[in-house]
Every structure is written in C-alpha cells, then in structure tokens.
Amino acid sequence: MRKYSFIRMVFLFFFLIFQGKGIAQQTNYDAATTSLGGFLNVFSERPSGFLSNPANLGLNAWYRFGIHIDAPYHFNQIIGNLFVPKIGHIGMALIQSNNEIPEQNFYTGLSRTFGRYGTWGMRLDYRKGGDTEGLLFSGGMTYRILEFDPANTPLKFGVGTQFSNISLSGPKDAGVIWGGGAVISINQNFLKLYPNMLIENKKGYWAFGAAFLPLEQVSLNMSISSRTKNRIRVGLSFRMDRAFADLVYIPDQKRLQASFTFLLGKSPEEKAQDYFNAGKKALEDRKLARAREDFRRAWCYIPENNFYRKSYKLVSRKIKSEQEHIDSWMQEAENLEQRGYYFIAAMRYLDILNQNPDYRAAKVRLRALRPLVGNDVNRTLKKGEEYLKKGRIDVAEKIFKKILLLDKHNQKARQALEKIAEDKRKAAEEYFYRGLGYYSQRNLIRAKQEFKKALEIYPHYQEVKIYLDEIHKKNRQKSVWADSLLNRAHALEAKNSYAGALDDYIRVLDWEADNPAAKEGVKRLNKFLKNRNSVYLKKSRAALRKKDFATAERYAKRVLRISPKNRSARRLRNQIAQARTIMFNEFVDQAEAFLQA
C-alpha cells in the first residue's frame, strides 16, 4: 500500500513541476497550532495565515512547489499553491501520515484577502483511513490590526477565528474544531508571537508559538501545545533567493522533519510593480478603466501597500466623478433633444463619446439624431462662415469640425476647413521665412520668436522644429562659452589687460544681456578704457558696409553698453535697422516669387 502511495506522490510531484504551480510546507494537519516548522512559509509575507489558514497553503502570491520529508527517503506531503488575480489563492495537497492507523488526506482550498487587513478562506478535505473518513469542510477569517502609525510602528496585532471538520459525508462525529487567536509582531517581524485557543468536543486547548528572526534569511521557531502528546517542537528555517529549507525537531519522539520550498516565477513585489507601471501607462492614455484594473491587481498582490491602494482609490473616484459628469451631460442632451435643439444635443452626445468612447446610450441617440440635424447644420454653417469673415479662425474651425462629425459628406464645411488649413499654412510659412531671415543674421532671439509663431499656427511644421532644436543647441553652447569667457575676463583683468577683459565682458552680454558679473565688469573697466568706443564704432561701420548686420549691431551695442547715451552708436543702429529691413523685404519677395513659380 505504501509503495503505491509513494508512486502516486511521485507522479503528482512531476505533474506540479511541469504545471509550474506550487508551494511547499512541511506542516501537518495541525500546522499553525501544533508545529511551528512551517511558520516561515506561512507568516513570511503577512500574519494573516497564523490560524492555520483554511486553505492550509499560505498566502504568498508567488508560484510555489515543494516537498516534506517525514522520515528518510519518504515523502509524506506534496503541496501546491497558485495565486489567481480576482479569485485568490487556489491550492491542493496530498498528505500521508504514518501513525498507528495509516491515513491519506487530499485537500483543496481557496483563500483571498478582503479590505486592507483581512483574509478569509475555505477548504474541502477528503480523508481515507484513520479515525475519520469522508468529506470535511473548514473555513476561517483573520484580521490584522495596526495599533500605531504604519510607517514607524514597532508593534502589530492580528486577530482571527476559524472552524474546521464540519462533516459533509461519512461519520458526523468528526469533532468540529473552533478556534481563535492572535499574532503579535514586534519591531518589524524581528519577533513574532502566536497565542491560540481551540475548542473541540467541548474541550479547550491552548497553543503558543514564537518565531525569532535574528537575520533576514534565518528564523528560529518554537511551539508548545496542549492538544497533542508531542507538545514541544522547535524549528530552524533558512531562506535563500528562491527557496526555503526548514528543519523541525520533536524532542518527545526524537524525530527530525525536513521541508524544502522552491519559488517559481516573479515575486509578488515584481508582479505588483509590473501592474502598477501598466496602470500608469493606461492613465497617460486616458484609459481609466484599464488603469483602475491594473492598480487593483497591484494592490491585490501587495494588500499592505498604501501607495497601490491609494492609486486604485483615486482612479476609482475619478471614474465615478467623470461618470457623474457624463450622466449630467446625458440628461442635458436629452432635454435639448426634447426641446428640438437637435444640433446642440448631438454636440453634447459627441462630448460624452470623447470622454467615454464606449458609452452605448450616447452612440444610439447620436445615430438617431443624424437625420434630424439638417436645418441646424445649415444654420451652424452660416455662423461658422460669419466667424471666418470676422477673422476668428479658431472658432470657425471648431464649428466646421463639429459639422463634419455629424455630416461627414458636408462639402461646404470640408471646403471651409481646407481653406482655413491653406491660410494657416501660408501664414506659418511667412513667419518661418521671417525667422529664417533673422537666423541667417544670427539674431537667434527674434528667429526663435518667429519660429514659435509659425508653430502656433501650424503645429506640424517639421522644418520649424528642426531650426528650433538648432537654436536650443546653440543657446546651450553659448551658456558654456559665456562661463569660459567670464573666467578669461577675470584672469585678464587681474593681469591689468583691461582691453581684452572688456571685450570678453561685452561678448558675454551679447549672449546673456542680464548677466550680472559681465555688467559689473563693464562698469568697472569703463573708466580705464574711454577710447574703446571709437574702436567699436569703426568695426561696426566696416561690418555694415559688408552687409554683415549681426556683427555691425553687436559692435554698436558694445558702445552703448559702455556709454548708453552715445549718439554716434544710436545713429549707427538706426542705419543698421534700415539696411536690414530693406534686405529682409527683398528676401521675402524672392521667397514669394519662388513659391508662386
């Protein structure tokens, strides 16, 4: 008999490996109250399983598989656990005991969390052999209480209750067990205490356990119970990266038990983070329902994580708020429809569909209104044309787009939109060529302003974006150059080379007009270099003759930085501006001629 039982267990062992679903625990039927060997597995994540969780399979969301060795080369427990989002933890176990009367048990159970700190579960047991045969039902609930601020509390409490051995078939005198107890965690799980009380056949039993974690990977466990003959048990647990190893020693029997647990797949923290990242991406795409579901799954994996919980709650409130807003719009649209304002009602239905594309009631009403909005479309079309004549292009464009949403074959609205797009393109090109003129003269500030105006009118103008990127790069380079020039100006000034220092200070001001260090340097050196004005004026006039307006204006500005009231410099700047305007107009005329050709 034992030989065949062993063969069945080996087959189940390989089946669970290939399925990739499993957990191992070395605990027997009374694991939580009579054996502390499995405490590391049961309580490593949350204290909610301390009352022999009704599924008897732990609450960790990691896929697990493992075996329990009760005697040399004899596997007497094989247990598997799988976490399924929206459902909970589903598990099964095949356990064989070697007492005076051999007994075989098959367990299957379900457990899941509720709220923030609660856990409930239920289990069906099929027993063969021993004192009790047949189908038994067990259930239970636990709840964890935080006494202090969760961020820095040294002490945590959990309380719960359970019942087991309710016979569904076979003898009715299986002995229903009722129990209650608590878990006390001290200093972030450094020490855990498990007091329990059980009642079976009107008799009371007590059990007490303790788990001491001197290191993160090591746990020392001890239990004592009045329910069994072998009252005292001690255990030692080791946790590695993806596995557990547990030893349990029973002094009365001089018996050593061993258990091995293997963790498969991603950890709960990794899975929760993946779902949270997916929720953030859905939130950016305005897919609120998808984001809420992803945040809920992340919270489901790590229920004690406040950030996941708050993210789920915030998105849920946002969805509820938007739904209330949509409901009010729906009511408004229905009222407008009843009063005969079909076009305005249709626009409101379109607004609803922009918020929620899957809102079926709005789709149905909009489809029904399309044949009725003919007259309203014509009136609205005339209104859009009036706005277009007044120069309010943005308002007219919105009106024509709404008309096409209701009547996609309306040629007048389509032609008006095409004309608006063409006018915008021409206006954007005009600003672009203006900016190009300033860019060719190295007047990057004015060029940037013109390019931005072109983008405001026509956001898809790729050439403008390229030039703006170049301007940003040059501005960053100028900032680096300005710092190096300031350092060089300070060094030259220290060597009494005032002319070179003043040139560098003024160059910095050409790039950064409000640079305080450069302003102070010009003011400080002005009294030493009165003759620099004539040098700069000569250079400015020479550049103007060569039609190098940027250089000419730069030297004229330098004179004005030294002597703001210098008349020659002001007169020279006016000449530069006139010459630049003439050249710019010629450039625009050439560009228009090129486009018309």
Predicted local confidence at residue 482, as pLDDT: 78
| 24-42 average pLDDT score | 27
Predicted local confidence at residue 51, as pLDDT: 30
Binning the chain into helix, strand and coil, the percentages to the nearest 5 are: 50, 25, 25
Rounded to whole angstroms, how far apart are CA atoms 566 and 563? 6
Q: Which helix (H) or strand (E) holds 98?
A: none
What's the Rg (C-alpha) of the chain?
Answer: 41
Q: Bridge-partner residues for 206, per DSSP? A: 197
Residue 62 has pLDDT above 70, yes or no: no
DSSP states along 424-460: HHHHHHHHHHHHHHHHHTT-HHHHHHHHHHHHHH-TT
CATH 2.40.160 fits domain 2-265: yes
Which residue in 395, 392, 323 sits closest to 362, CA to CA? 323
Rounded to whole angstroms, how far apart are CA atoms 446 and 5? 88
* Weakest mean pLDDT among 32-41, 391-400, 432-441: 32-41
Residue 19 has pLDDT above 50, yes or no: no
Residue 143 has pLDDT above 50, yes or no: yes
Predicted local confidence at residue 83, as pLDDT: 66
Of residues 338 and 595, more confidently modeled: 338
Our measurement of the distance from residue 595's CA atom to the centroid of its chain's CA atoms, rounded to an integer in Å, reads: 49
Predicted local confidence at residue 529, as pLDDT: 61
Residue 34 has pLDDT above 70, yes or no: no
CA torsion through residues 27, 31, 32, 34, sign:
negative
Predicted local confidence at residue 527, as pLDDT: 65
| 554-569 average pLDDT score | 75
Q: What is the dihedral of CA 187, 193, 195, 196, to 10 degrees?
A: 110
Residue 545 has pLDDT above 80, yes or no: yes
pLDDT band at 487 (very low <50, low <70, confident <90, very high): confident
Predicted local confidence at residue 317, as pLDDT: 86
Rounded to whole angstroms, how far apart are CA atoms 77 and 595? 85
**Residue 481 in 3-state DSSP?**
helix
Predicted local confidence at residue 284, as pLDDT: 82
Of residues 439 and 588, more confidently modeled: 439
Predicted local confidence at residue 56, as pLDDT: 34
For residue 163, give Cα distances in angstroms to 53, 60, 197, 240, 302: 10, 22, 12, 34, 27
Distance from the first to the final alpha carbon of the chain:
100
Residue 70 has pLDDT above 70, yes or no: no
Contact 117, 143 (CB under 8 A): yes
Residue 356: CB atoms within 10 Å: 15
Rounded to whole angstroms, how far apart are CA atoms 312 and 329? 26
pLDDT band at 15 (very low <50, low <70, confident <90, very high): very low
Predicted local confidence at residue 337, as pLDDT: 74
| 58-86 average pLDDT score | 52
Predicted local confidence at residue 23, as pLDDT: 26
Predicted local confidence at residue 43, as pLDDT: 28
Predicted local confidence at residue 82, as pLDDT: 67
DSSP states along 274-334: HHHHHHHHHHHTT-HHHHHHHHHHHHHHSTT-HHHHHHHHHHHHHHHHHHHHHHHHHHHHH
Structural domain boundaries in the chain = 2-265, 270-423, 442-596
* Weakest mean pLDDT among 66-70, 506-510, 573-577: 66-70
pLDDT band at 47 (very low <50, low <70, confident <90, very high): very low
Q: What is the pTM of this model?
A: 0.42
* Weakest mean pLDDT among 67-81, 291-305, 371-385, 498-512: 67-81
Our measurement of the distance from residue 366's CA atom to the centroid of its chain's CA atoms, rounded to an integer in Å, reads: 35
Of residues 171 and 348, more confidently modeled: 348
Predicted local confidence at residue 593, as pLDDT: 66
Predicted local confidence at residue 447, as pLDDT: 82
Predicted local confidence at residue 115, as pLDDT: 64
Q: What percent of the chain has pLDDT over 90?
A: 0
Helix ranges, 339-410 (H): 342-355, 360-369, 374-389, 393-406
Residue 594 has pLDDT above 70, yes or no: no
**Residue 570 in 3-state DSSP?**
helix
pLDDT digits (tens, 9 = 90+) for 446-455: 888 888 888 7
* Weakest mean pLDDT among 227-231, 269-273, 389-393, 498-502: 227-231
pLDDT band at 410 (very low <50, low <70, confident <90, very high): low
What mean pLDDT, rounded, does the chain reach?
A: 69
